Amino acid sequence: MRVHQETITVETPGRARPFTDITRRVAEIVSRAGVATGVTTVFVQHTSASLVIQENADPRVLVDLEAWAERAAPEDARYEHDDEGPDDMPAHIRSAITKTSESVPVMAGRLALGTWQALYLWEHRRAPHSRRVVVTVVGA
């Protein structure tokens, strides 16, 4: 049984382009891990960003997801926690109702994502941020 772990830094452009495709970077870590069969766990170490596996073919899917998140947690609502501005608490809510980790099987030494799937870091703050993502690969 092998365990391989790396942390990557992802620079996000903010909510102007909220989805950053990190599939290739995670796939490179899986390749370095030398695991033929196993699982990869990807975890973002922040409370105002999340991870999502989603379609990579039609960009309108991501546009619609962001529009849904804006309706679910609007900036113009009244929040107690607004220390860092009007996008502060909505970002926390968006992170809470999505996911901070994803698991992907490893098959034949590669991520077992479907044809139209990609792994995205979803930025919930307006401004650009530097996000840490921990990738753990376990298997044989």
Contact 106, 36 (CB under 8 A): yes
Q: Tell me the pLDDT tens digit for each residue of 40-55.
A: 999 999 999 999 999 9
CA distance to 12, 34, 118, per residue, from 46 (Å): 13, 28, 20
CA distance 43 to 65: 20
The token pair that represents 5 in the structure block = 């772990």
Predicted pLDDT of residue 120: 98
Taking the whole predicted model, whether its pTM rises above 0.85 is answered as: yes
The tens digit of pLDDT for each residue in 53-68 reads: 999 999 999 999 999 9
pLDDT in tens, 17-29: 999 999 999 999 9
Ordered by start, the domain boundaries in the chain are 2-139
How confident is the model over 67-82, as a mean pLDDT? 95
The per-residue pLDDT for 95 is 97
First to last CA, the chain: 5
Show the beta-strand stretches assigned E in 1-140. 2-12, 19-21, 38-44, 49-55, 101-107, 110-111, 117-123, 129-139
Give pLDDT tens digits for 89-127: 999 999 999 999 999 999 999 999 999 999 999 999 999
CATH architecture of the domain formed by 2-139: Sandwich (2.60)
